[in-house]
Amino acid sequence: MTNSDQRSDEDAIDVQGGYSSGIAVIDPEDSFTDPGIEPHRPRKTDLFPEAEKRSARTVVAWMVLSAIGAVAAIVAYVVFPIDGHDISTVRPNNLFLGLGIALSLLALGIGAVHWARQLMVDEETIDIRHPQRGSEEAQAGALEVLDAANKESGFGRRTLIRRSLIGAAVLTPLPGIVMLRDLAPLATQGGDPAELLRHTMWTAGTRLTRDPDGTPIKASDVQIGSAVHVIPEGLTNETEDWLNKKAKAVVLVVRLEEEDLIEAEEKKSWSYHGIVAYSKICTHVGCPVALVEQHTHHLLCPCHQSTFDVADGAKVIFGPANRALPQLPIAVDDEGYLVAQSDFHEPVGPSFPERAL
Ligand code: FES
């Protein structure tokens, strides 16, 4: 007797004997009767033409509201611009822009649902499942179904609703398109987008200070295994364009045992007694990299889990980033404070295809 014969016999025993080997078996005698479909209950809009018209007006009103929301979002973007010197301008910009987009999407969704619930054909049908095939008959059938759906939904017939829906759907994505204007290369007035990230506030002799209080850092204050979030000395919220400057210049300072550092020959002078400084801007799409694993010396980006090895030039050891974090060359001044030797030697931040490294 083969294994499959044996299994069939066991299955037969299961069917007659109920439970066996922990497997539940359905007795054909226990099968239940199909309760069928409940009697159809017509909606008000099916019975009263006035109710139907009222519903159609409601749908149009939601579509118009959606269009108003989209336009309001664009107006808010223009009326409440973000001023790089004044962080208080971010709040009204985000608030009114967000409200406009939310109103636009919400009204579009409510209008569409109302249309489907109150005006589209409301009848229960049983659709027998057919085998899937791509024959010509099937395609012709699909076209018929589409045609019927078009007729039943009233998409072809209800001109005003259709136009208001199309108008709202066209306007809804517009705020997103308008906001693209803030992206490079438009933001650089047609120049090289990598230029935006090529130069930061760091210059030779600029002290490294704690973020956010601006306290200068002595090399002796940085303990082995510690990580310090750093900004250039003199960068405050009074500085012109301080948000953009800070976004590019933020640095993480980490101290390791000197013998743990693996340094390229040309970068051996960029660290100071095991203290290294790397840009905090992830080279994937620019999130702040800030999670340091003390024992492994790994630096983790919380956005998409790119992991950099601080001991080995902040090279990528995992994740979607494809470039090491740029290193800031550092030294100490006469008073023992950490200072930059120069700016970064490459653009910080995400890697644009245009960037020539
Ligand atoms: S931004 Fe850091 S991994 Fe994506």
Q: b/e map of 232-249 (b: 16 or more CB within 10 Å)?
A: bbebeeeeeebeebbbbb
Compute, in angstroms, the gap from residue 303 CA to the centroid of ligand 1.
Answer: 5
- Angle CA 108–112–113, to nearest 5: 120
Give residue 274's pLDDT band: very low, low, confident or very high (50, 70, 90): very high
Helix then strand then coil, in percent of the chain rounded to 5, is 45, 15, 45
State how far the Cα of 351 lies from the Cα of 355, in Å rounded to an integer.
Answer: 7
Q: Is 82 in the pocket of ligand 1 (CB under 6 A)?
A: no
Q: Residue 182: pLDDT above 80?
A: no
The secondary structure of residue 315, as a DSSP letter, is E
CB-side exposure of 192: number of CA atoms within 13 Å? 12
Compute, in angstroms, the gap from residue 27 CA to the centroid of ligand 1.
Answer: 56
Q: Cα-flanking dihedrals φ and ψ of residue 302, to 5°?
A: -70, -15
- Report cis status (omega within 30 of 0) of the bond before 347: no
Is residue 348 a contact partner of residue 280, using CB atoms and an 8 Å limit?
no
Residue-level pLDDT at 7: 44
Q: What number does CATH give the domain 195-340?
A: 2.102.10.10
State how far the Cα of 306 lies from the Cα of 284, in Å rounded to an integer.
Answer: 8
Using CB atoms within 10 Å of the CB of residue 146, give its burial: 0 to 12 exposed, 13 to 18 middle, 19+ buried.
Answer: exposed
Is residue 252 a contact partner of residue 280, using CB atoms and an 8 Å limit?
yes
Q: Is 303 in the pocket of ligand 1 (CB under 6 A)?
A: yes
Q: Is 304 in the pocket of ligand 1 (CB under 6 A)?
A: yes
Q: Which atom of ligand 1 is nearest to the CA of 319?
A: 3
**118-174, pLDDT tens digit by residue?**
999 888 777 777 766 678 888 898 899 999 888 888 888 888 888 999 999 999 989
Q: Is 307 in the pocket of ligand 1 (CB under 6 A)?
A: no
Structure tokens given for 313 = 């030039």
Q: Which atom of ligand 1 is nearest to the CA of 282?
A: 2
Query: Is the whole model's pTM more than 0.75, yes or no?
Result: no
Mean pLDDT of 41-58: 93
Q: Is 301 in the pocket of ligand 1 (CB under 6 A)?
A: yes
Mean pLDDT of 195-206: 88
Q: Residue 273: pLDDT above 80?
A: yes
State how far the Cα of 255 lies from the Cα of 227, in Å rounded to an integer.
Answer: 7
Is residue 195 a contact partner of residue 188, using CB atoms and an 8 Å limit?
yes
- Report cis status (omega within 30 of 0) of the bond before 212: yes
Residue-level pLDDT at 5: 45
Is residue 332 a contact partner of residue 340, using CB atoms and an 8 Å limit?
no
Pocket perturbation via mutation, ligand 1, pick of 278, 279, 291, 304 by most ligand atoms within 8 A of CB: 304
Residue-level pLDDT at 18: 42
Q: Residue 356: pLDDT above 60?
A: no
Pocket perturbation via mutation, ligand 1, pick of 252, 279, 287 by most ligand atoms within 8 A of CB: 287
Q: Is 282 in the pocket of ligand 1 (CB under 6 A)?
A: yes
Q: Is 91 in the pocket of ligand 1 (CB under 6 A)?
A: no
Q: What is the CA radius of gyration of the chain?
A: 33
State how far the Cα of 113 lies from the Cα of 148, in Å rounded to an integer.
Answer: 19
Residue-level pLDDT at 110: 97
The stretches of 174-317 forming alpha helices (DSSP H) are 174-179, 195-198, 242-249
Residue that the structure tokens 């047609």 belong to: 190
Compute, in angstroms, the gap from residue 288 CA to the centroid of ligand 1.
Answer: 8
Q: Residue 55: pLDDT above 70?
A: yes
**292-301, pLDDT tens digit by residue?**
888 899 999 9
